[in-house]
Amino acid sequence: MAFYVTTPIYYVNAAPHLGHAYTTIGADILARHHRQRGEDVFFLTGTDEHGEPVAKVAESQGISPKELADRNARQFQDLMPRINASNDFFIRTSDPRHKQRVQEVMQRIHDNGHVYKDLYEGWYCPKCADFKTEQEIGPGNTCKIHEGTPLDREREENWFFRLSSFEQPLKELYAQRPDFVSPRTRYNEALAFINGGLQDVSLSRANLTWGVEVPWDRAHVFYVWFDALLNYYTALSFARDGDDLTERFWPASYHILGKDILKFHAVFWPAMLLAAELPVPERELIHGYLLMRDSEGIETKMSKSLGNVIDPFEVMDRFGADALRYYCFREVSFGHDGGVSTVTFGERYESELANEYGNLASRTLAMITRYRDGVVPDVDVDADLAPDFDGLVAEVSELLDRAEITQALDRIWQRVRRLNRYVEETAPWQLAKDEAGSDQLDVTLRSLAEGIRTVTVLLHPYMPETAAKLLEALGERELTLESAAFGGRPGGGTVAKLPQLFPKPQ
Ligand code: MSP
């Protein structure tokens, strides 16, 4: 079974921040989980390099847009391995192969009669690179998204996309596919936008050269969103040299994105695909904003224009990538807005990662080494503990099927805590004192090793590097979901020394 997951492609007019890492990690968790299921997975991320904002920043720095794009795209490319993202490809929209495919698809939309030329006048936000509708304009003609940014009154001859003629087809799409957009609040929001009546949208820019040329009118470039959205489709045709993956992976299974770009993905994008007679993606998963919580508990959106961004590189230097991945999805329920702060980060690192999980693993391995010469006893797991793990794998899979990434993590963590209680209840150090406790000690150590293995296989999508280290110390390689059942692997293996998983930060 094919599973194709994407992130938005990020603008190169600024450096990556935690918000970008957050979306990418969310997509990565799903990609890794589906690989554990044995599916044929393709995970795409990349950079959105055209458009006015990039051209403007480049101009202010006295360099060409391409130079700026090259420099900043590199930072996003570097971010991916640093956050342990397992993307199969990184698309850059300045890639000539992307441009060519955009022109082909847009030409088809043109030839199908969905494009016309007209004069356009409207309020335009240079930061969004978007003309604004009435509801999107703030007091004094400012942008509601980029608070306070004055909108420009723009007038130009443009090519238009007949979005209005897709009102009915989009209503039908939404009626037929109740989970096309989730969570439900975002589905309702997108549908309300469609029901409010769709206006045609400008598709090209005349006074800009940094973009993909309109093939039927070379004096224009495509409005950046048309070029950008198509990345999800074009990438498949050239991601693997000589092997077009379009048939295998299109339509996408999941587009993951923040709520700021809902309209483009949930309205424009399916309309474009319908116009080009291409299948629309299966699902769009919309998440909320990461908000910075300051020392007074006040939360504001993390954004480059507000200058309150957490630098993911800095956090990872101190705590490691997996801690960042864990924290983001533990602290902020995927789909909702949520506050992050360095204080709660430190707390969770210490109490959950280092104590509840790291110590559980190191204590268990140390006891197996001390009491059983490093060999996991080859006995059955504890029948009293087993019911607490019943159905866990199915539960986690079902939650991840609904992209409930935080809830799935919570279910796994409940078992980490259950194992800690089990240590206290069984007190292996007491059992070890007395020969009469020997059989029970075997069962306890075996159950702890197996419990840790189970949660670690399930945690692998969240913390791949840590999970790999821990599984190796347990003498295990198997990562499949099938193998994750408690008691699913035999005892009798030899454990190795475990490096400290969550050392005290520098
Ligand atoms: N280039 C467009 C997307 C084109 S997709 C065809 C764009 N780029 S962006 O660089 O602004 O990235 C926006 C995305 O980054 C959001 O949708 C979200 O996924 C992520 N985030 C940026 N800031 C964020 C937060 N503060 N919180 C959560 N996610 C954030 O829009």
Mean pLDDT of the chain: 93
Q: Which amino acid is at 288?
A: G
- Determine the distance separating the centroid of ligand 1 and the alpha carbon of 10, expressed in angstroms: 6
214 has a pLDDT exceeding 70: yes
Share of the chain above pLDDT 70, in %: 97
Sign of CA dihedral 132, 134, 138, 141: positive
Band (pLDDT 50/70/90 cuts) for residue 304 is low
SS3 122: strand
62 has a pLDDT exceeding 80: yes
C-alpha 354/C-alpha 364 separation (Å) is: 14
- Determine the distance separating the centroid of ligand 1 and the alpha carbon of 424, expressed in angstroms: 45
- Determine the distance separating the centroid of ligand 1 and the alpha carbon of 391, expressed in angstroms: 36
Catalytic site includes residue 114: no
The residue whose CA has the least distance to atom 8 of ligand 1 is 10
308 has a pLDDT exceeding 70: no
208 has a pLDDT exceeding 90: no
DSSP, res 362: H
Identify the residues whose C-beta falls under 6 Å from ligand 1.
Answer: 8-11, 19-20, 22-23, 48, 228-229, 231, 257-258, 260-261, 289-290, 301-303
- CA 100 vs. chain centroid, Å, equals 27
Task: Dump pLDDT digits (tens) for 32-42.
Answer: 999 999 999 99
Task: Dump pLDDT digits (tens) for 479-496.
Answer: 999 999 999 999 999 999
Catalytic site includes residue 146: yes
The greatest distance separating any two alpha carbons of the chain, rounded to the nearest whole angstrom, comes to: 90
Q: Which amino acid is at 127?
A: K
Q: In 332-484, where does DSSP find H-type helix?
A: 342-348, 360-372, 392-401, 405-426, 428-431, 438-459, 464-473
Tell me the average pLDDT across 245-271: 98
Q: In 379-437, where does DSSP find H-type helix?
A: 392-401, 405-426, 428-431
- Determine the distance separating the centroid of ligand 1 and the alpha carbon of 260, expressed in angstroms: 7
The residue whose CA has the least distance to atom 14 of ligand 1 is 258
Band (pLDDT 50/70/90 cuts) for residue 302 is low
Q: For 16-25, 113-122, 168-177, 307-316, which range has the lowest pLDDT when averaged over its residues?
A: 307-316
Band (pLDDT 50/70/90 cuts) for residue 147 is confident
Query: What is the Cα Rg of the chain in Å?
Result: 26
pLDDT value of residue 399: 97
Q: Give Cα separations from 34 to 4, 246, 392 (angstroms).
A: 10, 19, 16
Task: Let me know: does 456 contact 470? Beta carbons within 8 Å.
Answer: yes
C-alpha 288/C-alpha 262 separation (Å) is: 11
Residue 9, H or E segment? strand 2-11
SS3 content of the chain, % helix, strand, coil (to 5): 50, 20, 30
pLDDT value of residue 469: 97
Tell me which of 11, 20, 299 to substitute to probe ligand 1's pocket, judged by most ligand atoms within 8 Å of the beta carbon. 20
C-alpha 406/C-alpha 328 separation (Å) is: 9
Band (pLDDT 50/70/90 cuts) for residue 303 is low
CA 87, 90, 96 angle in degrees (round to 5)? 155
pLDDT value of residue 297: 66
- CA 358 vs. chain centroid, Å, equals 25
318 has a pLDDT exceeding 70: yes
Please give the sequence-ordered ranges of beta strands (E in DSSP) within 191-331, or none if there are none.
Answer: 201-202, 204-205, 213-214, 217-222, 254-258, 283-287, 290-293, 299-301
Query: Could you say which of 50, 99, 125, 263 is catalytic?
Result: 125
